[in-house]
Structure 1
Amino acid sequence: MIFLLSLFTLLQFNTVIAIDNDLSGKWINEDKTRVLEFTQNSGIYEAIILKAEDNSLIGKKQITGLKKVGTSYKGTLHVIKKNKEMDCTVTIKNTNTIEIKGSYGPVSKSQKWHRQKQ
């Protein structure tokens, strides 16, 4: 009986870890002006803009090449209107919150995003 309970607890814990490490899905920024959809192919994520104040941005790739490095994901953030790219780090805070950090040289900016409810 104790063995089965331990096994059940372990399986639940592993399921939580798998969910916490998955960026796939729709994420909305704190001021609710942008929605990104993260998709994954062979362990590499990208994020496409689904909602933005400027409709010309919809459908464009905001983040590409995100690969797991330690406890975060690292890739490229595309600043589309300025035609620039910067380093990007995405850190999963919990199942429903991530932090996206863009860095260009010594300057960086972070923003929290929340999983959008279906």
Structure 2
Amino acid sequence: MKNLLKTSKIIFSLLFFLIGINMQAQNSPDKILGKWTNEDKTRVIEFVKNGTSYDAVIRKAEDESVIGKKQITGLKRQQEGSYTNGTVHIIKKGKTASCSAQITKDDHLNIKASYGMMSKTQVWNRL
């Protein structure tokens, strides 16, 4: 009987420990996840997790033909608020460029697209 009580205490202690670890992991979400609007406010883009990387899917747009398409794919988290190695899709032109993203504040996201020697940065805002 004493062994059963001792085993039960160990199991419950381990269970509470594992639940605590799980709760801590859930309380540190990636800040990039969620909906953002582009600089000229013509699109709403939602960042979603895709395995170990992040994609940005167009949810609202003036041109309805682009809704549901991926604006950005393959962003990899480098550190908290910093993402690299992504690809931005210039849908209308059928081209791509490399991109990175940096969260400067909780509601601002700098998206930098580079194509050869040229680069352009946009600031997106969280919705």
Q: Do Structure 1 and Structure 2 share a fold, with TM-score over 0.5?
A: yes
Q: What is the match of residue 60 of structure 1?
A: 69
Q: Deviations 1:53-89 (Å, cap 9, x if unpaired)?
A: 2111111001000002356212000011111110011
Give the 3-state SS of the residue equivalent to 1:35 in structure 2: strand
Q: What is the match of residue 18 of structure 2?
A: none
Q: Choose from 95, 99, 115 the match for 1:104.
A: 115
The answer to whether 1:77 aligns with 2:84 is: no
Q: Does 91-100 or 62-71 show the bigger shift?
A: 62-71
Give the 3-state SS of the residue equivalent to 2:62 in structure 1: coil
Q: What is the match of residue 7 of structure 2?
A: none
Q: Between Structure 1 and Structure 2, whose CA radius of gyration is higher?
A: 2
Corresponding residue pairs, total: 101
Query: How far 1:96 sits from its partner (Å)?
Result: 1.0
Q: Percent identity?
A: 53
Structure 1, unmatched stretches of 5+, are 1-13
Following TM superposition, the consecutive aligned residue runs of length 4 or more in structure 1 with deviations greater than 3 angstroms are none
Query: How far 1:32 sits from its partner (Å)?
Result: 1.3
The answer to whether 1:34 aligns with 2:58 is: no
RMSD over aligned Cα atoms: 2.1
Q: What is the match of residue 10 of structure 1?
A: none
Give the 3-state SS of the residue equivalent to 1:89 in structure 2: strand
Give the 3-state SS of the residue equivalent to 2:65 in structure 1: helix
Task: Return the letter of the residue paired with 1:31.
Answer: D
Q: What is the match of residue 60 of structure 2?
A: 51
Task: Return the letter of the residue paired with 1:46.
Answer: D
CA distance in 2, matches of 1:65, 1:52: 22
Q: Choose from 73, 98, 104 the match for 1:93.
A: 104
